[in-house]
Structures are given as C-alpha cells and as structure tokens.
Structure 1
Amino acid sequence: MRHIDDDVDVLKVMTSRFRMKLFSLLFRIGPVTVSELARRMDADPGQVSYHLRQMQPHGLIEDVPELARDSRERWVRAALSGWALVRDSEAPEARAALQAWTSQWVIDQFERLRDFERTYMTLPENWRHASFGSSRHLRLTQDELTQLADQLNAVLKPWRELTQARVESSEIPPDTRPIFIFYHAFPEEP
C-alpha cells in the first residue's frame, strides 16, 4: 500500500481524471496490454500510452515484458495494491495537490459503488450474497479511532498480500474477481 503524503509530483500526476480511471482499471484487470486498456477506456492507444508514461516514473505502474508476444506489444500492471492518505503536509503546493487528488479519488470511489449498485442483480447469486456494505456511527476518542484504523489495516493485510502474490505469479484461481474495498472513518461535529 502506498501512503500518499506530500510527494507533490505523484499527487499532481494522479489528479487527472483519466489517469485515476486508468489506474482503477489496472487494479481491477491486472496485467493487460495497452491496446486492451485503450479499448476498455474507449480511448486512443497513444493517449493511454502517454498517461502510462506520466505514471511510470512515480512507481505507479510497471511494465510486464515477459507477457509480450513481440516487441510491439506492451503489457502493464498497477505497481501498488492500494492508497492510504497522509494529510499532514503544511506546504501550500502539497496541500493544494492533495486536495485536488482527494476530490478525484472520492469521485472515483463513489462512481465505482454506484456502478456496482446499478449492476448488482446481474451478478451470480453467490457473488451477490458475498458482497457487503455497511455504515456505523461510533463515539470514539482520537486514540480509539487510530486503533480502529490500525486494526482494519491489520485485517486487510493478509488479503492484500494474497492478492499481490497472485498478481505477481499470474496464478489466479478462475473464480477470482477483483474486489473493491473502501472505507472512511472521520470525526463529525455533533
């Protein structure tokens, strides 16, 4: 998992709506050709290649040359398994970039949830029953909220590691699907 903090260059690169969608797609489908990415994004392969080149120097994507059948075919995958925000930067440029990136990130999360809800009934019954959503209202101290975040991340860690191992080995069980998890926990005014 990558912590997004005051690396202004990474934040700027990922404020692009197109790159955010491209990156989300890479998370979901794993190693893929640039041609297939372009088809799924309904974009020109040159446009997709340009955005991938912007992301690559920041360690966001990586080439997978061993999958290419010839020198013209380019395979890529996401180099990360998730994002974590660190919002403590005092630098004005970093704060502005973080705010722009966060806005795009939240939009992406809710669009993905909306798309899931829209297509929920088209899923096989076993996947519908396995899917879940929840919201809770808690009353916690700052220390307790920090503990909650640590515990949630600890619960997800073995699942992130399993996913990473599957992606790196290209040995993914046939009934595996990309799973999107997002949660937020923050204080509200009473």
Structure 2
Amino acid sequence: MTERQLPQVTDAEALRALAHPLRMRILGSLRVDGPATSAVLARRLGTDSGQTSHHLRLLDRYGFIEEAPELGKGSRGRERWWKATQSTTVWSSNPDDLGPDGAEVVSALDRTIRQVWEQIIESYRAQVARREWSAAWQQAAGYGDVVIRTTPERLAAMRAELKKVAESYDLGDQAVPDAESVAIVLQAYPYRTDQ
C-alpha cells in the first residue's frame, strides 16, 4: 500500500462515488486482504467479475485505489491487479466543506457506512452461530458506549488519540498465532436526549 499523508477528501464527486456499498466493500477488501484482481474480488465478495471491474475503475478514477502492475505476472501480465492507495479515507462530515451537494453526499455516505457495518456485524454473528470464532474472540468482541461532556476541540483530540491507541495494538504483518483483522468503529456525535 502506498502510504501517504492522509489528506481530507473534499471532492464531493469522489465521495459520491465512494457512497456505494459494493465499492466500500471492494475498498475494504483491498485494504484488509491485500491486492487483488477483479476475479479474486468477485469471489471474495460474492459478485461477478464484470460488475467488480466497473466499480474498480470508479474507485481508481477518484484515487482510492491504483493498479499494481508489479503483481500482474500471470496470464502473460494481462491480469489487472489493484491495491488501495491508503489505509483509511478521511473526509469532513460538515456538508459545507463539500460544496452545494454536501448535505446529499454526507447523507449518502452515512447511509452506506451504516449498511456496510450492518453487513459486517451480521456476517460476524452468522460466523459465531456456525462456531467459527473461539470463545476468546467472542468475549473480546462487542459493543460499548459512553456519553461525555466536552468541546468540539477536545472531541477532535480524543478521536485522534483513540485512533493512535487502536493503531498501537496493530500487529501489522507479524506472524502471531490467533491474530485476525479486527474492525473498530468509533462514532462521536453531539447527543441530546430531548430530541
């Protein structure tokens, strides 16, 4: 993965392109499982290669992924391999930062993210029902919440610090028994009980 300083995406069209469940799943798979061809992604995600190719081209157009020609050695180099350009995507949740269509784009992203996370949780629950996860994993996984009083500046600092804490537990490519990829979701929004 070509790791660069993570710029905030401010192009509403790029974010609109990302606001599609299959595109988010493709991007997530490239980040978690590594580079792949459209055929490999189609198998991973249960879709067809043609549909996957279409979504790959859109993700490439907006810089979320790029070709990995160094991997296209099979079939005399005709396979097109793709990789994510960054480990995460950062954008403002303030619609005003995204131009006149900002509210629509932020809303579409929110809907898509909720849908993708719902699929991830449902998949995990189905795997638990099939006994694919050990008791240790089941006890370690889960939800939690806390409500605090703070300012926007302190909330931004807390989110950055929590991201660093999560990253400090990342084993990366180390070969550690029982290590798995773990999805961590942090949501932080102002909260009023009277609404």
What range describes the TM-score normalised by the shorter chain of this pair?
A: 0.7 to 0.9
Candidates 20, 25, 28, aligned match of 1:21: 25
Contact 1:6 1:94 in 2 (8 A): no
Secondary structure of 2:66's counterpart equals strand
Post-superposition CA distance 1:40-70 (Å, at most 9, x none): 2332212211110111022211222222223
Specify whether residues 106 and 85 from structure 1 end up closer, same or farther in structure 2 by C-alpha distance, changes over 3 A only: farther
Cα displacement (A) at 1:158? 4.5
Q: Is 2:160 aligned against 1:154?
A: no
Matched with 1:72 is 78
Mapped to 2, the partners of 1:2 and 1:16 lie a distance apart of: 21
TM-score between the two structures when normalised by the length of structure 2: 0.78
Q: Is residue 55–residue 61 contact of structure 1 (8 Å, CA) maintained in 2?
A: yes
**Residue 175 of structure 2 aligns with which residue?**
173
Higher relative contact order (CA 8 A, sep 6+): 1
1:189 is displaced (CA, Å) by 0.9
Match of 1:136 in 2: 146
SS of the aligned residue for 1:32 comes to coil
The separation in 2 between residues aligned to 1:114 and 1:92, in whole angstroms, is 35
Compared CA separation, residues 118 and 11, structure 1 to 2 (3 A): same
Give the distance between the partners of 2:127 and 2:46, measured in 1 at CA. Answer: 20
The number of residue pairs the alignment matches comes to 182
- What's the CA shift string for 1:59-115, capped at 9, x where partnerless? 211222222223222222222212334123422213212221221012212321232
Between 1:80-89 and 1:104-113, the stretch displaced more is: 80-89
* Contact 1:30 1:77 (C-alpha < 8 Å) held by counterparts: yes
* Aligned mates of 1:54, 1:143 — CA distance in 2: 35
Gaps of 5+ in 2: none
Distance 1:129 1:32 in 2: 32
Give runs of ≥4 in structure 1 deviating > 4 Å. Answer: 1-5, 157-160
Using the size of structure 1 for normalisation, the TM-score is 0.80
Is the 8 Å Cα contact of residues 14 and 101 (structure 1) preserved in structure 2?
yes
Secondary structure in 2 matching 1:92: coil
Residue identity (%): 24
Q: Say which of 181, 186, 191 aligns to 1:188.
A: 191
Correspondence for 1:112: 120
2:108 paired residue number: 100
**2:134 maps to which residue?**
124
Root mean square deviation of aligned Cα: 2.6
Q: Which amino acid aligns with 2:83?
A: R
Q: Which moved more, 1:178-187 or 1:108-117?
A: 108-117
Task: Classify the secondary structure of the residue corresponding to 2:86.
Answer: coil
